Structure 1
Amino acid sequence: MSSDTPRLRADAQRNVEGIRLAALDVFRAHGLNSPLDEVARAAGVSKGTIYHRFGGRQGLIDAVVEELVAERISGIISSVSAIDDPVERFEGYLRGLWLLQYDEPAANDVLLRALPGSAPLAAMCEHAAEVAARFLADARATGTIRDDLTPEDVGILIWERGIIARACDQQHRDGYIRSFEHTLRGLRSGS
């Protein structure tokens, strides 16, 4: 907090933290478009308090998105960056993102760019796309991945998986994984 920003009373600070924690739980479970009434109920405050403290849905999302999603995406990047084989690294990155999309509705909303007005969300998507493009270029250089596969194609694959993940109340996780493994095999040369 800067010296220009007024300090919150202790009870107001507890409300802000309670709202933040409730938003993390609700968004994780149900996605970024969860009703603010659910967040308010979970935090034990009125919906008006959310608007007063965060300015609405966008401000609340911006306040929690780093903790909600960025850490998970960074963890995937860090984990697969340690893989020496460029093809395994590229495929591992896609597997990690696709499982994240299935497991966490909020992360899926971020990767689907469901809220285009959020600068933090847009920055996260751009970073994820840049990493995917770098991993793709390295994998294509081995001759194992189709040379007509572009970063834009990878972006579409992530978007498609997100749409599938949203509909996965009809599909078990094992079936979802089986399906994306077929997609990964199709990205290989000669397939």
Structure 2
Amino acid sequence: MTEPARPRRADARRNVEGIRRAALDVFRTGGLTTPLDEVARAAGVSKGTIYHRFGSRRGLIDAVVDELVAERIQGIIAAVSALDSPLARFEEYLLRMFLLQFDEPAANDVLIRALPDSEPLLTLCEKAQEFAFGLLRAAQEAGVIRTDLTPDDVNHLILERGAIVQACGQQPREDYQRRLRFLLDGLRSTPSARTS
């Protein structure tokens, strides 16, 4: 007969929460590939303590991904779902996702699948993809988005945006957002759709 697991001591719980908080701060600014040494330094613990408490980098990321990125993506999905037209929903979804990639390095890492072995990250990406594909189908059925645009194209647009954000991190947000309009306008089915 095995003994029941003993509850964690209060100081151990504080230690775990301190590491989580530090990871959220560090990953938000530097992305999910930031060295664990920086998380350890911010938390005031050794890197070994992080491994002891979370098992691995992936364990730590899995412990913070909902708060770090999932809530933002779910918020985008909810806001876009409330819009009236298929064109507005499709374009607003892409615009918000592209801006999320620009604003938050950790979100960009999720969307470009920088850590493909994390189950929560893969689940989050798949949920976002399915939602995007539904928006694409609805916009194409309404005749407002070009019919030759495929779900794979939408995936690659997000991957390409991620690469652009990483390569051109010094561009002002306003310039990045202005260039997104050129991209989104090019996805519309006809010039007349540009005014709708």
TM-score tier after normalising by the smaller chain length: over 0.9
In the alignment, structure 1 segments of 5+ residues that lack a partner are none
**1:143 counterpart residue number:** 143
Moved more, 177-186 or 164-173: 164-173
Q: Which residue number corresponds to residue 194 of structure 2? A: none
Structure 1 residue 181 and structure 2 residue 187: aligned? no
**Whole-Å Cα distance in 2 between the matches of residues 167 and 174 of structure 1?**
17
Distance 2:20 2:33 in 1: 15
**SS of the residue 2:149 aligns to:** coil
Provide the aligned C-alpha RMSD in A. 1.2
Equivalent AA in structure 1 for residue 153 of structure 2:
D
The aligned length equals 189
Rounded to whole Å, the distance in 2 between the matches of 1:5 and 1:168 is 50
User: Aligned partners of 1:46, 1:103: CA distance in 2, in Å?
Assistant: 29
2:36 maps to which residue? Answer: 36
Residue of structure 1 in register with 2:100 after alignment: 100
Question: Deviation of residue 165 (structure 1)?
Answer: 1.1
Structure 1 stretch 95-104 or stretch 164-173: which is displaced more? 164-173
- Rounded to whole Å, the distance in 2 between the matches of 1:167 and 1:129 is 24
Residues 5 and 103 (structure 1), Cα distance of their counterparts in 2 relative to 1, 3 Å cut: farther
Shift of 1:79: 0.4
- 2:169 alignment partner, SS class: helix
Q: Deviations over 1:143-188 (max 9, x none)?
A: 1100011111101001111111112323111111111111101101
Letter in 2 for 1:76: I
1:5–1:28 Cα change, 3 Å: farther
What SS is found at the alignment partner of 1:169?
Answer: coil
- What corresponds to 2:121 in structure 1? 121
Q: Deviations over 1:109-137 (max 9, x none)?
A: 00000000000000000000000000111
In 2, the alpha carbon distance for the partners of 1:43 and 1:63 equals: 15
2:148 and 2:7 map into 1 onto residues whose CA distance is 55
The one-letter code matched in structure 2 to 1:10 is: A
Distance 1:5 1:165 in 2: 46
Q: Which amino acid aligns with 1:37?
A: D
Quote how far apart the aligned CAs of 1:4 are.
5.1
Which is further off, 164-173 or 19-28? Answer: 164-173
Shift of 1:57: 0.6
SS at match of 1:116: coil
Give percent identity, aligned residues only. 65
2:190 corresponds to which letter in structure 1? G
- Residues in 2 aligned to 1:118 and 1:183: alpha-carbon distance in whole angstroms: 31
Instruction: Flag the 1:125–1:41 CA change in 2: closer, same or farther, 3 A.
Output: same
Q: CA deviation at 1:190?
A: 3.3
Cα deviation, residue 91, structure 1: 0.3
Unaligned runs of 5+ in 2: 192-196
Query: TM-score, normalised on structure 1?
Result: 0.96
Q: TM-score, normalised by structure 2?
A: 0.93
> SS state of the match for residue 18, structure 1?
helix
| Superposition misfits of 4+ residues, deviation over 4 angstroms | none
Instruction: Name the stretch that deviates more: 52-61 or 173-182.
Output: 173-182
2:85 and 2:150 map into 1 onto residues whose CA distance is 19
Which residue identity lines up with residue 174 of structure 2 in the other structure? Answer: D
